[in-house]
Amino acid sequence: MSEERAPQEGKHAFARGLSGMAAAGLITKVLGYARDALLVAFFGGGALADAYYAAFRLMNVFRRTVGEGALNAVFIPLFEKEKTRGQAAGRAFFSSCWTVIFSGSALLCAAGIIFRRELVTLAAWGFRSSPGQLELTALLAAAFMPHLVFVNAAALFTAALNSARRFFLPALAPAAFSVSVIGILAAFHYGLFDGLDARGKIILVAAVASGSGLLQALALLPLLRREGYSLAFTDPFRSMGAAPALLAAAPAALTLAQDQVSLLINTMYASFLPPGSITAIYNSARLVQFPVSLFAAAAAALSLPELAARSAAGDAEGFRRRLMPALTASWLIMLPAALGIAVTALPVCRALFEHGKFLPEQSLATARALFWLALGLPAYGLNKVAASALYAMRRQKAPVLIISAQLALNALLCLPLMRSMGAGGLMLATSLSSWAAALAFLFALRSEAGFSPLAIPLFRPSLAAAVSALTALALREVLTPAGPVLVTAVSVPAAAAVYFIALKVLKVEERNLITGGKF
């Protein structure tokens, strides 16, 4: 293959891989929204849901720190380097990592159960004034903790499969969580477990959700074995292999879970706000995570093995060629998504959540939080890809410093903005701190990889995104009397169609990264 054709082939491969991961992510996210809509319809958006989501957020921080995207970014560069020494070395490194991750997760799970009250007190400080709320949240947190063991094992399997360039099934496997919760909520609807009160039922939901991690791990196990990896434990006193490397990368794992840590900070502040604020924050974050997980996180995961391989081979030019599609694809999706979500926040929240016990005022609170959080979407996408790129280069210091500064800025901004804007102010604090981090990440990429941020197309995609948002705004105003479901069903796809048409009219060739060259 000629050098001229190589970048084009790489872009086509990236587009195909991104389409596959996006399809799997779409299925997972749709099921996730169905899960969340059913949960608030059944339990409402008040104190009971607040306890559930506060406990879930606490567990999610541990899950994202030890596993999932964080493990991917830390494990794959190390794994790619080991595989250059041969398949046997790669398998030995995997076994060592398996031993460390499983043992560490089990210890973390036990500690979380034992110190559940202390952890919840730190994560939801405002609940101290309501002992019953604090006790329920602590009990739910304990029910969630076993999920760590299973889902972190699944995260290791996913990282090994991604390194083998297998993306679709690992991206689909997390749907087991939503399917399990939907299943137990359906059982409640049809009269099963009628002997339980609302408190008992939400504890059962947490227990079922916790067990879903085992289903996720089991779904990936056959594919993992097909790639030649087994779940053999190594003797930690004779073969420490992965332990020092993973422990050295622990700060990096924390930075890759920065979105969850930011939301945990927001949850702590929101525990001082009226009931329903934590649920509003959770639901708004879930909606913003849709484009982030579907495209930005997918672009980061998809590009990471190639970036790590190029970095290990010392191919700086190849590294930059692989980085460009990931950053560009993230920008092309996150920018219109930010404007579109901000414009349609209220009808979308009403269409998705305003059912059963979820009240109109709770939709309004969620929409306000969503509006301010959506404004940070382009920054979230850039941060995901940029952090993965720096870890692929094994430059861990810069991401740790940037994300630590971002979290500190987020915490400092929360108090004054919460006082003036409530839950929406907490979301604005996250958006502002994320933009500050994005600027720092772009500077770091220029310094470490010689990548110029100006290489990303900025003006014409911004113009197309503005036209798309105006379309959504006009349709919202015209269709509002017909109800939120129709507004959402018409304005969202119409705005997306207008955006891609505008990209084509403006001759933004980079659109092929997200359309696969079909438009």
**406 lies in some domain:** yes
The total of structural domains in the chain comes to: 2
Do 336 and 495 meet the contact criterion of CB atoms below 8 Å apart? yes
Same domain, 155 and 301: yes
Whole-angstrom distance, CA of residue 437 vs CA of residue 404: 9
450-456: long-range contacts at Cβ-Cβ below 8 A with a sequence spacing of 24 or more? Answer: 450/316, 450/320, 451/320, 451/323, 451/324, 455/324, 456/324, 456/327, 456/328, 456/331
**Secondary structure of residue 517 in the 3-state scheme:** coil
Do 491 and 485 meet the contact criterion of CB atoms below 8 Å apart? no
| Domain stops at, among 456, 479, 500 | 456
Say what the pLDDT of residue 373 is. Answer: 94
Q: What share of the chain is helix, strand, coil (3-state, %, to 5)?
A: 85, 0, 15
Amino acid letter at 293?
A: S
Same domain, 111 and 97: yes
**4 lies in some domain:** no
What are the tokens at 175? Answer: 């749907």
Quick one: DSSP state of residue 273?
Answer: S
Say what the pLDDT of residue 12 is. Answer: 57
Same domain, 122 and 152: yes
Same domain, 293 and 418: yes
Same domain, 249 and 307: yes
**468 lies in some domain:** yes
**485 lies in some domain:** yes
Same domain, 155 and 225: yes
Do 300 and 323 meet the contact criterion of CB atoms below 8 Å apart? no
Per-residue pLDDT of the chain (519 residues; tens, 9 = 90+): 444 444 555 555 555 555 666 677 778 878 888 898 899 888 887 888 899 988 988 887 777 665 555 566 667 777 777 777 888 877 888 888 888 888 888 998 999 899 999 988 888 888 888 888 899 999 999 999 999 888 888 888 988 888 887 877 888 888 899 999 999 999 998 989 988 999 999 999 999 999 998 999 999 999 999 988 888 887 655 555 555 656 655 666 666 667 778 888 898 899 899 888 998 998 898 888 777 666 555 555 556 566 666 666 667 777 777 778 778 888 888 899 999 999 999 999 999 888 888 889 999 999 999 999 999 989 988 888 888 788 777 777 888 889 889 999 999 999 999 999 999 999 999 999 999 999 999 999 888 877 787 778 888 999 999 999 999 999 999 999 999 999 999 999 999 999 999 999 998 887 776 665 555
**150 lies in some domain:** yes
| Domain stops at, among 429, 456, 483 | 456
What are the tokens at 131? Answer: 């002992």
Same domain, 46 and 184: yes
**76 lies in some domain:** yes
Do 39 and 49 meet the contact criterion of CB atoms below 8 Å apart? yes
Instruction: Please tell me the pTM assigned to this model.
Output: 0.71
Do 511 and 464 meet the contact criterion of CB atoms below 8 Å apart? no
Same domain, 484 and 338: no
Whole-angstrom distance, CA of residue 216 vs CA of residue 164: 19
Same domain, 375 and 499: no
Same domain, 512 and 442: no
Say what the pLDDT of residue 4 is. Answer: 45
Same domain, 381 and 463: no
What are the tokens at 416? Answer: 């004054």
Which structural domain range is residue 318 located in? 17-230+237-456
Burial track 279-299 (b if 16+ CB lie within 10 A, e otherwise)? bbbbbbbbbbbbbbbbbbbbb
Whole-angstrom distance, CA of residue 216 vs CA of residue 212: 6
Whole-angstrom distance, CA of residue 330 vs CA of residue 381: 6
| Domain stops at, among 417, 436, 456 | 456
What are the tokens at 427? Answer: 């979301």
Whole-angstrom distance, CA of residue 202 vs CA of residue 198: 6
Whole-angstrom distance, CA of residue 442 vs CA of residue 434: 12
